Chains A and B, each alone.
Chain A
Amino acid sequence: MGSSRLEYTLGNHGSENFRGDDIMESATKSFQKGEIPGIIAIDEATCKGCDSCKRHCPTGAITGMFGAVHRIDADRCINCGQCLVSCPFGAPFETVDAVETVLTRLNNKDVAVVGIIAPAVRVAIGEEFGLPAGTLATARMYGAMEKAGFKILDNNLAADLTIMEEGTELLHRIQGELSGGEAPEEGHGPLPQFTSCCPAWVRYVELNHPALIPHLSSAKSPQQMAGALAKTYGAQKIWGVEPGKVFTVGIMPCTAKKFEASRPEFISAYHHLAAGGGTYSGEAFPDVDAVLTTRDLARLLKKMGIDLAKEPGSAGDSVMAEYSGAGTIFGNTGGVMEAALRTVHAVITGTEMEPLEYRDVRGLKGVKSASVNLIDAKTGKALQVNVAVVHGLKENIGAIVDEVLSGRSPYHFIEVMNCPGGCINGGGQPVHPEGSGWMSAIAPLFAWR
């Protein structure tokens, strides 16, 4: 692979519009070969030095005095994009833009372009087409994207897969702990288990708290599961095309997903097909070829003259668009936890949770915690599962991390999302004049609310 992998990555993730040459020279210490070295940069001509971005940066990656031009230290940056959606002047920009790349693939009839639609996109993209915030536009999105030439793989389906994989992993970890504290079996890491869906959080751990890496679920994020699934099972059983002819596009509320897709670990479909699992002998390809944010997709549709607001709607072209309600709430803070609890409850007690809504983990409180008592259907023993949900990394992660590092954490499972409110407030979402990160910065002033 080597440097060709870098070319490949940048080639697919939008090299034509890559505006990060200066970053590539300065920051490479915290990047693996092939990774996009920094998704967010600040335009020096636009920056007024107002310091808004610094108030929202979870890692202190932004330097520059008040009144002077600000810069992002790409090595510290976790690509969350909260500075971008919070800047009153629009100075931060994304260094990679795959819109043109995706357009050329859509025009190539030999290529099956698969759109992997994240949950939070469907309730925000309407804002780019004049619909009120929160309008649920799943069917209209499917319709608009099919018109543009996409095949649909709803990432909510991959979220359901994530629950199966991550939930099973959690049960193994809990069983390992219950079986007497012996060294955890291989692959069954320590408790508490952290979620690994948020690529900004994963990079935060890798940079700042490598001691926590064994606590991260080994499950890939839904985007990466979806990419690997599309190029193996999807290519063979659903769309009947060669894996090398599938071009996967993550449609994400998130700028960090662009970085995640470029990680060299994520060429697993190729490895699977080239090794024992198949007879594939073509060139190597990544699991996810390109990532468009919610804003990027809106721009692409507008370029093609498609008005999402006027689309009649579609139910998707295959079973790859079928998802559960648990998969769709992944975009909210607490959603991954609620989805996991629904399945863990059913697996341990043998009955469905009643009611299915688990309100203790919903809402905008910075850290939410809850205890769930379950009766094991097989042994008849009671099992208490303690969970915590964290969002808004900047304000809320410190105490949780300290507890885990010092071995005092009472929790079994902890969900972490970097952005305040979860993916619905991601760095790739439509930008509002109020600035999307304000809640976390100003909330302490309004403690009575």
Chain B
Amino acid sequence: MGKKDYQYMENPFQVTRREFLSITGAIAAFTALPAVWVRSRVTKRNNYLRARAAGLYLDDRNAKIRVSHGNPVVTKIYDEFAHAPLSEISEALFHTRYINRSKGIA
């Protein structure tokens, strides 16, 4: 004891500050790649939903009549046939009832 101090010493792993930054940057970039890929897929998927939605809004803008109560055929159907909303015929043909199905999954 006392003659020599034996100490375990790791091989020094030396990086410069510049190297450290570039390695960290590379790791970050590779980690981010899949996220960007997934995000682009989601964006693409929303794009065709948006395209379909835009198609319907275009149909609306192109329409000569843009309100339901202004549709002459609706007026015609009530005049010639169903009389008025919630009339006896309308209740019979255009309204319904619902049932309790909750026992089916109890």
Contact = CB atoms under 8 A, between A and B. Distances in A.
Interface string A371-389: 0000000000000000000
Given A30-B104, A75-B104, A136-B58, A322 B73 contact: yes
A363 to B, nearest CB: 9
Interface stretch (A101-109, A262-270, A297-305): A262-270
Interface in B71-106: 71-74, 76-78, 80-82, 85-86, 89-105
Nearest to B58: A136
Contacts of A202: 98
B80 A207 contact: no
Contact of A136 (B55, B72, B81, B103): B55
A324 B104 contact: no
Contact of B45 (A169, A172, A323, A432): A432
A272 B68 contact: no
A352 B67 CA distance: 9
B74 to A, nearest CB: 5
B46 A439 contact: yes
A165 interface: yes
B63 A323 contact: yes
Contacts, number: 232
A356 B42 contact: no
B70 A324 contact: yes
A161 interface: yes
Contacts of B46: 364, 439
Contacts of B72: 322
Given A219-B94, A446-B42, A326 B60 contact: yes
A329 B71 contact: no
Contacts of A362: 57
Given A123-B56, A327-B71, A29 B90 contact: no
B49 to A, nearest CB: 5
Which interface residue of B47, B73, B93 has the most chain A CB atoms within 10 A?
B93
A434 B41 contact: yes
B20 interface: no
A161 B69 CA distance: 8
A309 interface: no
B102 A207 contact: yes
Nearest to A421: B49
Contacts of B41: 434, 438
Interface residues of B, number: 60
Contacts of A162: 94
Contacts of A271: 92
Given A328-B63, A332-B56, A432-B45, A343 B98 contact: no
Contacts of A187: 86, 91
A169 B86 contact: yes
Contacts of B6: none
Given A269-B93, A424-B53, A434-B45, A325 B73 contact: no
A76 B105 contact: yes
Contact of B65 (A75, A325, A422): A325
Contacts of A320: 73
A120 interface: yes
Contacts of B21: none
Interface stretch (A5-13, A92-100, A225-233, A400-408): A225-233
Given A206-B100, A424-B53, A232 B86 contact: no
Contacts of A445: 38
17 contacts: A30-B105, A32-B99, A164-B68, A167-B85, A169-B86, A208-B105, A216-B98, A265-B96, A277-B89, A325-B63, A326-B67, A328-B59, A329-B57, A420-B49, A434-B44, A439-B46, A449-B39
Interface of B: 38-39, 41-63, 65-74, 76-78, 80-82, 85-86, 89-105
Given A134-B51, A339-B67, A422-B53, 15 more contacts: A75-B105, A122-B56, A210-B100, A218-B96, A265-B97, A268-B92, A268-B93, A322-B71, A324-B71, A325-B62, A325-B65, A326-B68, A328-B59, A362-B57, A434-B41
